[in-house]
Amino acid sequence: MSKSKINKVAKAFGKKEKVLNYTSNTYHLTRPPKVGAVMALIRECQPTSFEEWEAFYFEKAFTKTKAPVKVTKEILKELGERLYEKITKVVIPEWTEAFNQVTLQDCINYVYEVTIHRTYDGFIREKSVVNDNLAKKFPDIKFEESDSELDHAGDIDYLGWVGDRAFGIQIKPITAQSNFGNYSVSERMKASFEEFTEQFGGKVFIIFCEKEKIKNEEVVVQIAEEIKRLRQ
């Protein structure tokens, strides 16, 4: 489809977009477990019109859960109602309190903290996960830090080389604000992971860590299986 034929149908929400986006992402209200794998569905559909895509979605979309549920307009309406409830009962009170408390010094400290302290902590954490865990479990695999382009564009922290092919590693810390049991990969990240697989041959694995310890230990077994596959 040429650029001249592209007619966007998405609605702009203006200044409300930030709070809608923040809350929706925080509570995973538009992620595959709730609305299905939309990018996979639209690629399967290959629509030539918005109406074709809309009809296909409501015919084929199921939640990406252990017991898939067919997505309907009523379900999307319920998700919208839940979004409103989270904004009004949780986000607005929390943000109002924060707005009333934040100071100039908080802002100065935060910029320095994110730029210097958290960058260092993240670097040490990634090194420890790879050198003290993965490299010892898989001593014949060459682990290599990704370049800046692959890190920022593809969400990949490390590559594990198996001959001339590689699998990807993304390392995420577990904090008081995150729970890896409820984590779901965004459609954008799924697309970048697929691009990585096309380029390097291997899958991408997300490792959740607390300090240097890998918390989702099953990922080590999955990596071992992927190494075996890449060697074939």
Write out pLDDT tens, residues 134-166. Answer: 999 999 999 999 887 775 555 789 999 999 999
Residue 110 lies in a domain: no
Residue 71 lies in a domain: yes
Residue-averaged pLDDT of the chain: 89
Report the predicted TM-score, pTM, of the whole model to 2 decimal places: 0.69
Could you list the residue range(s) of the whole structural domain that residue 141 is in?
Answer: 117-231
Report whether 171 contacts 157 (CB < 8 A).
yes
Closest CA to 178 of 220, 206, 204, 149: 206
- Given 54, 76, 101, the domain boundary residue is 101
- Provide the 10 A C-beta neighbour count for residue 191: 15
48-57, 134-143, 205-214: segment of lowest average pLDDT: 205-214
**14 and 94, same domain (yes or no):** yes
Q: Is 157 part of any domain?
A: yes
Is the domain of 45 the same as that of 144? Answer: no
Q: Does position 179 have pLDDT exceeding 70, yes or no?
A: no
Residues 187 and 123 in one domain: yes
Contact predicate 173/210, CB 8 Å: yes
Which pair of structure tokens corresponds to residue 145? 């830090």
Domain count, the chain: 2
Q: Are residues 123 and 227 in the same domain?
A: yes
Which run of H or of E encompasses 100?
A: helix 92-101
212 within 8 A of 171, measured Cβ to Cβ = no
